[in-house]
């Protein structure tokens, strides 16, 4: 297992939150290959003691990478973008959703296809999220990409959340709020148990998995 990719059904669904929990729980470094806006998400992740790798591109405008690059007078190189990740294993976070443009002819999902790592899809249960989740899953399936399941992020007890639990493979769920102890959330959200099954991780928290106890 060389790592996994955290993507989302859109922007501001909590990808960095989930990626932090995964990286802290698994003990893997974090990497976001393309960052737009400031400060970079790796600074947020670093507050929790997670090691991170620098971005291949960091663009100041908080927009789609293609747009942010054009605003900065740059052109993103597909050869630079799709080079193998800098280390393994990694928790890799994508920018925005699957069809955020990187270049005039490439999207985030094209980058994920190059690396062929298992995908975790972050879902925030807002109005319209069911449609966005199905569209994302259809795109993943059409390209034959490895898919682990969804993380339901921002649960409030709304009746609509039951649909996501029934309709999609659920790895874990988290309430919306501040992140105090990501390794503990890794266990309490159900992610530790789910990923142990999916990734053949050891059942103890000794080597590959942290936060095996709630104490």
Strand partners, 92: 5, 31
pLDDT band at 205 (very low <50, low <70, confident <90, very high): very low
pTM: 0.91
pLDDT, tens digit, for every residue of 28-76? 999 999 999 988 899 999 999 999 999 999 999 999 999 999 999 999 9
156, pLDDT greater than 90: no
| Lookup result for tokens 């052109």 | 75
Which pair of tokens denotes residue 143?
């390209």
Percent of the chain with pLDDT over 70: 92
Domains of the chain by residue range? 3-199
* Contact (CB, 8 A) for 22 and 31: no
Residues 6+ apart with CB under 8 A from 147: 118, 119, 121, 137, 140, 141, 169
Round the average pLDDT of the chain to a whole number and report it: 91
The CA dihedral of 182, 97, 132, 177, to the nearest 10 degrees, is 30
Domain 3-199, architecture per CATH: 3-Layer(aba) Sandwich (3.40)
Does the pLDDT of residue 1 top 70, yes or no?
no
Determine which of 18-27, 149-158, 191-200 has the lowest per-residue pLDDT on average.
191-200
Active-site residue list: 32
Assign 204 a pLDDT band (cuts: 50, 70, 90): very low
Mean pLDDT of 67-91: 95
More confident residue, 159 or 193: 193
Mean pLDDT along residues 115-128: 96
Question: Among residues 17, 31, 23, 18, which one has the least CA distance to residue 49?
Answer: 23
What distance in Å separates the CA atoms of residue 59 and residue 94, rounded to the nearest whole number?
14
Q: What local confidence, expressed as pLDDT, does residue 198 receive?
A: 78
């Amino acid at each position: 297992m060389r790592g996994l990719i955290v993507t989302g059904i859109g922007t501001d669904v909590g990808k960095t939150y989930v990626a932090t929990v995964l990286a802290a729980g698994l003990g893997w470094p974090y990497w976001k290959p393309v960052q737009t806006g400031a400060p970079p998400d790796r600074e947020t992740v670093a507050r929790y003691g997670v090691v991170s790798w620098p971005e291949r591109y960091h663009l100041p405008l908080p927009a789609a990478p293609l747009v942010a690059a054009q605003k900065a007078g740059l052109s993103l190189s597909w050869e630079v973008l799709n080079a193998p990740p800098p280390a393994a294993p990694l928790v890799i976070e994508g920018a925005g959703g699957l069809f955020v443009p990187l270049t005039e002819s490439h999207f985030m999902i094209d980058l994920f296809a190059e690396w062929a790592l298992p995908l975790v899809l972050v879902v925030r249960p807002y109005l319209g999220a069911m449609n966005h989740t199905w569209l994302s899953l259809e795109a993943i399936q059409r390209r034959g990409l490895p898919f682990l399941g969804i993380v339901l992020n921002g649960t409030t007890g709304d009746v609509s959340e039951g649909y996501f639990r029934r309709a999609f493979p659920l790895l874990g769920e988290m309430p919306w709020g501040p992140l105090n102890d990501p390794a503990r959330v890794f266990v309490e959200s159900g992610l530790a148990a789910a990923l142990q099954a999916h990734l053949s991780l050891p059942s103890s928290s000794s080597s590959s998995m942290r936060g095996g106890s709630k104490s």
